Amino acid sequence: MTAPQQPEKPSEPAQEPPTMAMLAEGYAAKAGLHRTHDGRIDVLRSAGGVQGIAESIVPGLVFLVAFTITRDLTPSLVAALASAAVFTVVRLIQRRPLTQALAGVVGVGISAWLANTTGKAEDFYLPGFITNAAYILAMVVSIAIKWPVAGLLFGFIRNEGLHWRKDAARVRAYRLGTWIIVAVLVLRLVVQVPLYLMGEDGLNALATTRLIMGAPLYILGVWIAWLLTRPVQAAEDVQPSKPSSSGA
């Protein structure tokens, strides 16, 4: 006797390719932007919180202090790498996501490798210039193709999704917000590149401006961009209702 044939399982429907809205929402989530309970942007948390800001500042500060004291590149680079690794261990103990800490370790590692390879302490800061320039290029392109980055980031925080793209005024607002962030990144290069070109003579000033123009300036730029891109309420939403007159 032949065994009864098993009924064929229905084939699973093919997954649809992600839409632009899905990609934009994912980009906003990966960018780490957060909002408060009342729908406003949580700038401090979006910058990684106090711990995240420390993770971005401390390795560079440790490198500067160590090199200023020892004038020896190798121990200064090791100290910077060790400080970045400490933050990763702290996140492991806290059982928090490691993405930001690991990215910091990789970034410091690349900077340390480059400075050690060239033998120039100022090259520790060179990868930051390259990253900065890449962000500028990406944001300018997003403005040119009418998909400004500020709209992709802020639109989902404000529950606008991608509907803002159908409103010319909102597109202009988000283009302006993106230009604000671009201005912050350009300002970094304008101030810091000349200090880098001074070599070791400009190292202290370069490291100091890198700290000041890092997370603090980024937070300020995002906050200004958020304020400038706020939707304008319709007139009927902002005008107080007139009390009805009682009949005689």
Residues 6+ apart with CB under 8 A from 51: 87, 90
Model confidence over 191-218: pLDDT tens digits?
999 999 999 899 999 998 998 888 888 8
Token representation of residue 146 = 């009418």
pLDDT at 235: 36
- Band the pLDDT of 236: cuts 50, 70, 90: very low
Q: What pLDDT is recorded for position 237?
A: 45
Give the tens place of pLDDT for each residue, 165-185: 999 999 999 999 999 999 999
pLDDT at 20 over 60: no
pLDDT value of residue 171: 94
Using CA atoms, how far apart are residues 79 and 115, in angstroms rounded to an integer?
14
Do 127 and 107 touch, CB atoms closer than 8 A? yes
The answer to pTM > 0.75 is no
pLDDT tens string 62-105: 998 999 899 899 999 999 999 988 888 888 887 777 776 778 78
